[in-house]
Structure 1
Amino acid sequence: MVPTDFKALIQRFYHLQSERLETYRLFEEGHEAYLRTGPQYDFDHYRQLVHEITQAFCGISNEVLQIKEKLHRDFDRPDLSEHIEKLQSKEKEKLELTAKLQLARQRAQDHPEDEDCQEKIQEIKHDIIKNKETLSEIMQDFKYDSEESD
């Protein structure tokens, strides 16, 4: 493989990360729209959104894992493949936290008198912020290490 293949692989990885961010944005917008349908809630529509979002995340993750393998196997870059492994783990955690936050928001909307709901939302938001900081650090390490070979 020639170096341009390496660069193309790295660019594809960055593109997939952008797709992931866009998918989160769509997920958040869809959840906000779902909350606006309360208290009856249009669950069928929301379930379809969750299905589509899940498929999008699975497709992105599968391709990222293929890139991870290629970096390790074809380019002998276990360092980059390790960054991707850490990233995938943190992305999984971020998705779980996002789902928890959505459930907490619906609970808070359904039970406005329950002050614990707002507290729980703040806790989850704090965990998401910490998660995003870690993701950002992993991406910085990946960027640094991938450019090192230029």
Structure 2
Amino acid sequence: MKKFISSLLFVFAVGTASVAAQNTTMPQQEKIEVSDAELNEFAEVFQKMRMMNQQVQQEMMAVVQEEELELQRFNEIHQAKMDPKKEVETTDAEDKKYKAVVAEFEVIQPEFQKKMQQVIEESDLSMERYQQMAMALRSDAELQQRLQNILKS
């Protein structure tokens, strides 16, 4: 379940990056220059988001538990709903609980995205620059290493 929720959070984070990108069309990512100051700022934002991820993960797990649905069972149902090739038999009660959890997640997600955007906006990085750096980090091993070194210190 933790893996599932982590993947949901990844989707939320990617969704936030997508929201940030809605106003800007970026060309194919090329290697970009990132100053140490910018990378330090990015690392600070990243750490704040990591903490927010942990909080929202706990909140999401609590929602599942409040509906008296086992985390593993919720995960099975959700995977089947997301993948048309997977099938799972559910009771009416499970369907009702699952729908209630998903409805609550749909409330949590925009709040989480808004908080993530706020963290970026409160930093010295523009939303566009943050996104450029996030995209560059996906493929630039040197930049990844520099970030890891900052996060370790």
TM-score between both structures, scaled by the size of structure 2: 0.32
Question: Which is richer in helix?
Answer: 1
User: Could you say which structure has the greater relative contact order, defined with CA pairs below 8 angstroms and 6 or more residues apart?
Assistant: 2
